[in-house]
Amino acid sequence: QSALTQPRSVSGSPGQSVTISCTGTSSDVGTYNYVSWYQQRPGKAPKLMISDVTQRPSGVPDRFSGSKSGNTASLTVSGLQAEDEADYYCCSYAGSYTWVFGGGTKLTVL
Amino acid sequence: EVQLVESGGGSVQPGGSLRLSCATSGFTFSDYWMHWVRQAPGKGPVWVSRIISDGSSASYADFVKGRFTISRDNAKNTLYLQMNSLRVEDTAVYYCVRDERYAPSRWGQGTLVSVSS
């Protein structure tokens, strides 16, 4: 499978909202409601922020939200805080018990 | 507390072999499907392999098929990845990942594999 497509970078000022897109195909994002999002800080492992397109695990701030339309999923971070600065990756189930990931988006808090 | 701790990474020449291990704790290991995911420097993660909960079935990405073997020991709560015929392009951090409802829910801290001559 080809990697999911994400913008290389997004930025916003504290308190603003930013949205990161994740575009796949009808073989992954478009078919399955198993899209997840991860936050990764330098030298650390990815941390699950959103699962099943919209579900926030316990402990993840409600400033993080997910959605999907067609072959594109999105992660929105509202009320940006300095601590949100990190790399963000999307992931979709791609059938046959495999996953496909995005190339990553660097979120900068100005 | 859920923990996944990888080990066994290192530097190796092309054509060499390594065996990665992932020791787990804090959850019932035998209940979960497990995966290996790798991430090359500056790149996004890439799925490598998965094994079902009882170890009886596994699958692989095409780029490692025939070279890598995933296995598990449920008595030891440990996941393995035997990597043979390593190539320069296999250089990456390898993560042990727990599968939960078709998503990578928990990740280990990763172990670095570097393949160069």
Q: For B103, which of A34, A96, A98 is closest by C-beta distance?
A: A34
The answer to whether residue A1 scores a pLDDT higher than 80 is no
With pLDDT > 90 as the criterion, what percentage of chain A qualifies? 94
Predicted local distance difference test score (pLDDT) of residue B7: 98
Which of the four pLDDT bands, split at 50, 70 and 90, describes residue A98?
Answer: very high
Q: Do B95 and A34 touch (CB under 8 A)?
A: no
Tell me the nearest-neighbour CA distance from B15 into chain A, angstroms.
26
Show residues of chain A in contact with B106, CB under 8 Å.
48
A6 within 8 A of A20, measured Cβ to Cβ:
yes
Contacts of A43 in chain B (CB under 8 A): none
B64 contact residues in A (CB cutoff 8 A): none
pLDDT value, residue A2: 78
Residue A34 φ then ψ, to 5°: -120, 55
Cβ of A70: how many Cβ atoms within 10 Å? 10
DSSP chain B: --EEEEE--EEE-TT--EEEEEEEESS-GGGS-EEEEEE-TTS-EEEEEEE-TTSS-EEE-TTTTTTEEEEEETTTTEEEEEE-S--GGG-EEEEEEEEETTEEEEE---EEEEE--
For residue range B26-58, list pLDDT tens digits in order.
999 999 999 999 999 999 999 999 999 999 999
Do B101 and A52 lie within an 8 Å CB cutoff? yes
Q: Is A48 on the interface with B (CB under 8 A)?
A: yes
User: Within a 10 A sphere around the Cβ of A69, how many other Cβ atoms?
Assistant: 9
pLDDT at res. B101: 85
CB atoms within 10 A of CB A51: 23
